[in-house]
Amino acid sequence: MSTPILATKLFIPPPRPNVVPRDRLIERLNQGLHTRLTLISAPAGFGKTTLVSSWISHLGAATPDGGPDPPAEKSIHNRVAWLSLDEGDNDLTRFLAYVVAALQTIAPELGRGVLAALHSPQRPPVEPLLTALLNEIASSPQDFVLVLDDYHVIDAEPSGRSPLGAVDHALRFLIDHLPPQMRLVIATREDPPLPLARLRAQGQLTEVRAADLRFTPAEATAFLNHAMGLSLTADAVAALEERTEGWIAGLQLAALSMQGHQDREGFIQAFTGSHRFVLDYLVEEVLQRQSDPVRSFLLQTAILRRLSGPLCSAVTGQRDGDATLARLERGNLFIAPLDDQRHWYRYHHLFADVLLARLKAEQPDLAAALHQRASAWHEKQGLLAEAIHHALAGEDFTRAAEQIELAARAMLISRQDITLLGWLKALPDALVRTRPVLSVYYALALVSIEPRAAEDRLRDAERLLDLGAPSANVAVADKEALASVPGIIAIVRAYLAGATGDAQRSAHFAQQAWERLPEHDHLWRGAAAALVGLAQWTSGDLEEAYHSFSDGVARLRMTGDIIQSTSGAFILASIRMAQGRLQTATRIFEQALALAISEGDPAPPPTADLYVGLSETLYERGELEAAHQALLKSKQVEYQGWISDNRHRWPMAMARLKAAEGDPEGALGLLDEAERLYLPSPDPNVRPVAALKARVWLKQGRLAEAMQWAHARGLSASDELSYLREFEHITLARVLIAQFQQTGQASAIEQAHGLLARLLRAAEAGGRAGSVIEIRLLQALAQQAQGNVTGALASLALALALAEPEGYVRLFVDEGPPMAQLLSTAAAQGIMPGYLGTLLAAFSATPHDREAGIQAAPSTVHGPSSLIEPLSERELEVLTLIAEGLSNQEISERLFLALSTVKGHNRNLFGKLQVQRRTEAVARARALGLV
């Protein structure tokens, strides 16, 4: 997105001098500030843009001193964002990027994360992106208006199953969820495919139509006689107004033509016909009255969507482009400035259409040459998108192919796939098939939407490589990229294989890509290494996966892309968690967060994911309040616009907190949300949401639903095991244990023992200590259910030995009363007293467990026999920090807690210790051996 082009699109056109007052329409638009949408819909030439520009200039007029509170139109002064659309904005990524850029003209911090997500290699789906943007808008303290001008140029093909184009669908979602702070104004030549009837019925639509925009006799008189200086009689104005039906463009063109006529009355009498014929006649009159150089300038520059002096000089061969544009503006010759410095202009769309028609009629062979000159100028300025547009329009396909090849890598990284595909499909297929680099970029653009066509392009690239490139039959513009083509071919095939679920072939091609790519190509080598790591993780080779993915992150870091490197930390920490290395995972999250935060405000987009990951480790350690605070911080970052492929992890993490608080229905609701948000990706789905729901059902005693889940998934105790389904099979073991407990069916518990034994061997062989601990716990619970306390304690001791060094807490506590009873028995036998004290205290701190009467065992270090009620894990942490001399504020910062929360913990622990002051609390705690 080039800065000069962007500036012109966001520039609010100034009100024209001597504009006709249109108070009735200004008031109509003011009323629109109380509805979601204001639609200004009329054919070309009805003054839609001029009206909105004039209205904006009226906003914020002074309120009389001592008057009542200012109305909506006063309070919204200087808070209008403007976006002028053109045909290139049918690309959804570009459209959304421009919308955010427009909003940032009034709120610079708004939507930064959304822009980063739009330009990320894997652009998230549209609705979550819009939701994040809307959440940010909803937090804005002030009202504002977004104006979309010339929306009729949006005519994208239907998207997916929807009859709407992608941009139309996004706009409909935006309107349906518009926060009260925002109002939308659309100016268009035709009604957009929006729910206008519903908005009208709800009183949420303000409309300005052609009948409203037509000049009244009084307005026509003011325009013709005052603005245009014609001094016509009342009868002449009435006749002209009647003939044009108040059509503003027709009146303006007629006025321009009459300025050179002596017999104005005769001109008006001869002025008849439909708009099209009137337009042809008047433009002919206007053009004929221009000097030959000006007329030639107008026709030759009509091919340009935006005009600047140097560009016009390059296209026309004249040297006075700036001066000519200034003269055209002074002459009110259908030209409008696009910036305050008068560097960029555009013709009135209707005028440009007619100029183009005249150019084609008079000099049909000239247009191609003009486009080619424009393409060359834009290329020299580094404006490749405009250069490509003109090269294609001028049918200079060789130049266009070269430019597209040079731009394609950046377009793919920023996820402007639709625009890139549009360019590629405009090229002759025979030309594309001579260019190996272009062919492989074509495949990358097609991989997610037309996989078979992508494979065809890969075969073209391979054929061309066999011929040798460059050569007489093989063309290359991006010679540096040529060396990477074999590796990129393998990367595309890795994605294609992964999309079909063939992890083995995906890993094969990813490894092949790594071997084929040049050492210096850090972007693609990083992607290849990451794909190898993800495939290894999917197959359960966690240590190999960690090293491969680490190499990929290191490569991506060499590109200077902090977004990729910090998001990679999320995967690395997740692998360590799967290995049971909770402390290491926590350090990775904390270090990555420190790096992200050091980048300044706003933090890089992956910060949201990192906070979710940190929350998961804090939860496992039993730090529920800190886990909750980390999730809230993640939401704060998400409100800045970032939505990642891991966004389903947030409701999953919050669901565990809800369950821990004794709210299983709330947990299930969050898991439903996680299911809706989940999208398949190369990351292995090792904790399927459906399995998590089955676990909640078991806690609720809803065995039938859990068994139905197992049946629907085709699970059995005799299945061949794989890491990808390990979590599901562990959940199946839980179902079998619950079935035995409810029905006494011996075969169920036997199947559970057999399945757990096989799962244990596989997890130990794969170095997956996290799974090993959980499996050992389930073995203990299964033995306890059969009355085998000795066997249960033996399995429990093995789980405790693995869990204690990493600080696991919730893995035990989430098992509920049966585990609490087993831990109490172990504590009575003197097994790991310190660790068991921590675990039993965590049980007593959990609301639903307190209600169930679960208390810490007499042997715990918390000394419950000496206290009214045992201290919770969090209260013990606060007490320890008090003993170290930290203030409440310092404790708040250390534990990521609100100050009011720390004070609440103080009140609770003071009550349990039966003291009133901090010094008394510390002395009492030391006497009890608590600190």
Most confidently modeled range among 240-249, 345-354, 427-436? 427-436
Average the pLDDT over each of 1-5, 655-659, 742-746, 837-841 and give the range with the smallest value: 1-5
Residues 636 and 135: their CA atoms lie apart, in Å, by 10
Per-residue pLDDT, averaged over 404-420, amounts to 82
Per residue in 756-786, is it b (16+ CB within 10 Å) or e — as a string? bebbbebbeebbbbbbbbbbbbbbbbbbbbb
DSSP characters over 375-390: HHHHHHTT-HHHHHHH
DSSP annotation of 307 reads: B
Task: Name the band, by pLDDT with cuts 50, 70 and 90, for residue 283.
Answer: low
Q: Answer yes or no: is pLDDT of 709 > 90.
A: yes
Per-residue pLDDT, averaged over 581-590, amounts to 93
Residues 237 and 221: their CA atoms lie apart, in Å, by 6
Per-residue pLDDT, averaged over 31-42, amounts to 93
Structure confidence at residue 160 (pLDDT) = 45
Q: Answer yes or no: is pLDDT of 863 > 60.
A: no
What does the radius of gyration of the chain's CA atoms come to, in whole angstroms? Answer: 35
DSSP β-bridge partners for residue 40:
187, 208
Structure confidence at residue 770 (pLDDT) = 93
Residues 6+ apart with CB under 8 A from 601: none
Of 327, 240, 329, 253, nearest to 286 by C-alpha is 253
Q: What is the pLDDT of residues 309-321, one digit of tens each?
A: 999 999 999 888 9
DSSP β-bridge partners for residue 41:
188, 209
Q: What is the pLDDT of residues 732-789, one digit of tens each?
A: 999 999 999 999 999 999 999 999 999 999 999 999 999 999 999 999 999 999 999 9
Residues 6+ apart with CB under 8 A from 828: 857, 858, 859
Between 180 and 3, name the one with better pLDDT. 180
Q: Are 141 and 432 in contact (CB under 8 A)?
A: no
DSSP characters over 388-410: HHHHHHTT-HHHHHHHHHHHHHH
Per residue in 445-473, is it b (16+ CB within 10 Å) or e — as a string? bbbeeebeebbbbbebbeebbeeebbeee
Per-residue pLDDT, averaged over 377-394, amounts to 94
Residue 227 phi/psi, 5-degree rounding, is -70, -40
Q: What is the pLDDT of residues 196-250, one digit of tens each?
A: 988 999 999 999 998 899 888 888 888 888 877 788 888 888 888 876 777 787 7
Q: Answer yes or no: is pLDDT of 849 > 80.
A: no
Dihedral angle computed from the Cα positions of residues 486, 491, 494 and 496, in that order, rounded to the nearest 10 degrees: -100
Q: What is the pLDDT of residues 448-471, one digit of tens each?
A: 778 899 999 999 999 998 877 566
Structure confidence at residue 643 (pLDDT) = 43
Structure confidence at residue 222 (pLDDT) = 87
DSSP annotation of 62 reads: P
Region of residue 867 (phi > 0: left; psi between -120 and 50: alpha; otherwise: beta)? beta
Residues 6+ apart with CB under 8 A from 245: 214
Asked whether the CA dihedral 562, 567, 568, 573 is positive or negative, the reply is positive
Structure confidence at residue 860 (pLDDT) = 35
Q: Answer yes or no: is pLDDT of 864 > 80.
A: no
Task: Name the band, by pLDDT with cuts 50, 70 and 90, for residue 641.
Answer: very low
Amino acid occupying residue 910: F
Residues 668 and 56: their CA atoms lie apart, in Å, by 48
Structure confidence at residue 98 (pLDDT) = 93
Structure confidence at residue 191 (pLDDT) = 85
Task: Name the band, by pLDDT with cuts 50, 70 and 90, for residue 288.
Answer: confident
Task: Name the band, by pLDDT with cuts 50, 70 and 90, for residue 854.
Answer: very low
Per-residue pLDDT, averaged over 104-125, amounts to 82
Task: Name the band, by pLDDT with cuts 50, 70 and 90, for residue 858.
Answer: very low
Per-residue pLDDT, averaged over 543-556, amounts to 91
Residues 6+ apart with CB under 8 A from 549: 529, 530, 532, 533, 534, 537, 568, 571, 572, 575
Task: Name the band, by pLDDT with cuts 50, 70 and 90, for residue 341.
Answer: confident
Pairing state between β 37-41 and 205-209: parallel
Residues 49 and 56: their CA atoms lie apart, in Å, by 11
Residue 361: both structure tokens together:
């009629």
Residues 195 and 187: their CA atoms lie apart, in Å, by 16
Amino acid occupying residue 503: A
Per-residue pLDDT, averaged over 140-169, amounts to 77
Residues 380 and 88: their CA atoms lie apart, in Å, by 20
DSSP β-bridge partners for residue 145:
80, 183
The upper half-sphere exposure of residue 216, i.e. CA atoms within 13 Å in the direction of its Cβ, equals 9
Q: Are 303 and 390 in contact (CB under 8 A)?
A: yes
Residues 804 and 343: their CA atoms lie apart, in Å, by 69
Q: Is 148 helix (H, G, I), strand (E, B) or coil?
A: strand
Q: Answer yes or no: is pLDDT of 302 > 90.
A: yes
Q: Are 188 and 151 in contact (CB under 8 A)?
A: yes
Q: Are 184 and 16 in contact (CB under 8 A)?
A: no
